[in-house]
Structure 1
Amino acid sequence: MTATLKNLEGQDDASILREIQAALNGLKFGSVEITVHNGQVVQIERKEKFRLPAPSNKIN
């Protein structure tokens, strides 16, 4: 449900790895997508899914 776009042009490898680590930090369900153009990481997108508890089917 959360999408974060990061523009990473001009950053060094260590900075890019820190951004990837930050995107993965705390992620339980979801994905991290890394976009590369011409051999350079240009975007990191984090998609997080939240699991809701199953509804109780109580009959009153």
Structure 2
Amino acid sequence: MTEKMNKKEDPIVKETLDKLLKVINEVHFGTVTLIIQEGKIVQIEKNEKIRLR
């Protein structure tokens, strides 16, 4: 399989994956939601809770 064909089959580009990993690493308590359209990630939502003790 050529690299060109592989890129067409892989809907997650490196830039998107890097952004997703950054958001995941930033959240201590909360959720990360991916919005997907036509098999591609179009939005990343971060909802973080701040705990007061």
TM score, norm. by length of structure 2: 0.71
Name the residue aligned to 1:31: 31
1:8-47 alignment runs, 5 A limit: 13-47=13-47
Cα separation, 2, equivalents of 1:26 and 1:40: 23
Deviation at 1:26, TM superposition (A): 2.8
SS at match of 2:26: coil
TM score, norm. by length of structure 1: 0.64
Aligned residues between the structures: 42
Deviation at 1:17, TM superposition (A): 0.5
Two-structure CA RMSD over aligned residues (Å): 1.2
In the alignment, structure 1 residue 49 sits paired with structure 2 residue 45: no
* Larger relative contact order (CA 8 Å, sep ≥ 6): 1
5+ unaligned residues in a row in structure 2: which ranges? 1-11
Name the % identity: 33
Q: Which has the higher helix share?
A: 2
Amino acid corresponding to residue 21 of structure 2 in structure 1:
Q
Moved over 6 A (4+): none
SS at match of 1:31: strand
